[in-house]
Amino acid sequence: MTSTLAEYFAGVQHRLPGEADRVLKALEDDSPMNKEELSLTSKVKRAVLDHVIMQLYALGLVEVVTEGKSKMCSLTSLGWDYLNLRKAG
């Protein structure tokens, strides 16, 4: 079974919780940021944010890097492609 990237992203969009859109939008505007900033900027509760970040990380849309005590989140190139295709479609 093969699908195009656009078809894959369409399936991803339907499976992600609504908070994922807010997290991706915040990262698009101000990437990278730590989870505290991301929680405040995206208006997603911290407990929910951790779950959403792990989903986005598993899909390859978000990268999480540890810097000291902070975990910095940023969009991957696949994450940028996802946002660009969503805007185009």
pLDDT at 2: 65
pLDDT digits (tens, 9 = 90+) for 47-72: 999 999 999 999 999 999 998 888 89
CATH of the domain at 55: 1.10.10.10
Domain count for the chain, please give it.
Answer: 1
Please tell me the predicted confidence (pLDDT) of residue 89.
Answer: 62
Higher pLDDT, 69 or 74: 74
pTM as predicted: 0.85
Query: CB neighbours of 1 closer than 8 A, spacing ≥ 6?
Result: none
- For residue 52, the enclosing domain spans 5-88
